Amino acid sequence: MLFTEQDHHYMARAIKLAEQGRFTTTPNPNVGCVLVNDQQIVGEGFHQRAGHGHAEVNALLMAGDKAHGATAYVTLEPCSHYGRTPPCAEGLKKAGVSKVIAAMVDPNPQVSGKGLAILAEAGIEVGAGLLEPQARELNRGFLKRMEQGLPFVSCKLACSLDGKTALNNGQSKWITGPLARQDVQLFRAQSCAILTGADTVLIDNAKLNVRAAELPIALPTDLPLRQPVRVIIDSQNRLTPDLALFSIPSDIIILTTELDNQQQWPHFVSHKVLPANNHKVDLLAALQWLAQQQFNQLWLEAGATLAGAMAEQNLIDEYIIYMAPKLIGNSGKSLVNFAELTKMDEISSLTFKHCEQIGGDLRITAVAESQLDSDEFNRKE
């Protein structure tokens, strides 16, 4: 199918709508839908929350009878299976739309190609691939989980201009400024889970929650703020219930190698025993298990040891580094720790994707080689 300039315009609108669900839809993908009849938008909507109406359902409700004969622009192939809501492909067919254009085919094996097939068999013209790179970027965590059985991992780091994260005595508050810390809250809010290690919790007495008052923007929906699940790797069972982390009643998962039944944990805390690798939680096994629990996007906010171990095993997709215009010198601690390299070809190669000034600091986004193809459109903008 050849796409027109108008097709591009309406699909871009659908993608903007889909972005409004990025704080609330987990574990579902972000999806937007625009219904156009006689060159007029007659209905539009986006998926707000798992178990609630999908984007197509909300657009059809807005359009009413005007959906008959309309073209539907959807950022992801309409679903074809019964889950918590009926299939959207059937809803579009029943409404009498004449054409459905999807930005991409759904990688979910339950859906892939079946939604478009239902529509085509009903005599509805279908097409796919319009603004697909942008649609993939919108749901990169969901797509990685479906295609590779792993969540998308973003690693947050903060450092001085000379690459140091703290003084030798552990003091690190604050290297970056308040606007950078607010920016971190926005990334946390968009993540399915925040992943860290016991060291970070113990040293910083960190809570690792989203603080709504510090968000730099107002959330785009009326839905309540969704706290990401806090996932803590505690291989040696060093955490105790009196820590500040457990003062906030939202879901916490502790990953360990051996269950400790000596502590009395709050009801919102659960434990998962995972295989050990050198007496520590096997990190690949941890990510695979989290993907099985339907976590799409992980925000890794940890110390140099865990960040280094994840980097060494190529388990990080994206680095988000906040760099402050400060110099700490030889007394400081480095960003990541892993085994010493002896050859230049052993060095991990990254590509700078984006750089932006946040207050007095820089936010640098660098991606791993595995992300280069999917991010190509970003570098061309």
Which of the residues are catalytic? 56
Please say whether the beta carbons of 138 and 18 come within 8 A.
Answer: yes
Cα 59 to Cα 5, 98, 164, 344: the distances in Å are 22, 15, 50, 54
Q: Kindly state the DSSP code that residue 221 receives in the 8-state scheme.
A: S
Nearest to 167 by CA among 303, 326, 331: 331
Cα 224 to Cα 22, 185, 253, 314: the distances in Å are 13, 16, 22, 35
Alpha-helical runs (H) found in 85-172: 88-95, 114-121, 132-138, 140-148
Q: Which amino acid, one-letter code, is at 317?
A: D
Chain CA centroid to CA 283, Å: 18
Kind and range of the H or E run holding 311: helix 304-312
Spatial separation of the C-alpha atoms in residues 65 and 69, rounded to whole Å: 9
Nearest to 35 by CA among 25, 27, 45: 45
Asked if omega into 275 is within 30° of 0 (cis), the reply is: no
Tokens read off for 195: 């992943």
The Cβ of residue 123 has, within 10 Å, a number of other Cβ atoms equal to 8
Spatial separation of the C-alpha atoms in residues 216 and 76, rounded to whole Å: 29
Spatial separation of the C-alpha atoms in residues 8 and 109, rounded to whole Å: 27
